[in-house]
Structure 1
Amino acid sequence: MTTNGAIQEAAELLNKAAAVTVNHAQQDIPRIKSGDLMQQKRELEIDHAGRIYRLRITQLNKLILTA
């Protein structure tokens, strides 16, 4: 096998592995839209193991989670 052939084969294997990783991650991790979570509010509280966390939408439309 030539060097170019080996490089091409390695690249194809990496691309396949990346595709499998992306598909696997998409299947295992639930996704919720921030608008559905925030329900038209800019801030909400999350109770996690008795500790309250605050999730806010900033002025730059980013999410920030604080304890």
Structure 2
Amino acid sequence: MSQTLSASNAPTRVSTTSPSPATDSPQAHAPRRISSATLMGEGRAIEIEHGGRVYQLRITQLNKLILTA
């Protein structure tokens, strides 16, 4: 890859800083999406530990998701 040189023969610097949160697009704050099949695998229930408590996420007989503590 070629490199652009300034008059002083030094490499040109390119800023690699990220935009500030105030200028981020709304898409940057979208929640992650994970399929239930990825979460559940072959089972119908998983346990999720959060804040020192254990929750159960399960698939009901009507194929709905329910989260209980």
Whichever residue aligns with residue 50 of structure 2, its letter is H
Moved over 2 A (4+): 23-27
Cα RMSD (Å) of the superposition? Answer: 2.0
For normalisation by structure 2, the TM-score amounts to 0.58
Equivalent runs, 1:1-67 vs 2, <5 Å:
24=26, 28-67=30-69
Deviation at 1:24, TM superposition (A): 3.0
Q: How many Å separate the matches in 1 of 2:35 and 2:60?
A: 16
Q: Percent of counterpart pairs with the same letter?
A: 56
The structure with the greater share of residues assigned to helix is 1
Deviation at 1:65, TM superposition (A): 0.1
| Structure 2 gap ranges (5+) | 1-24
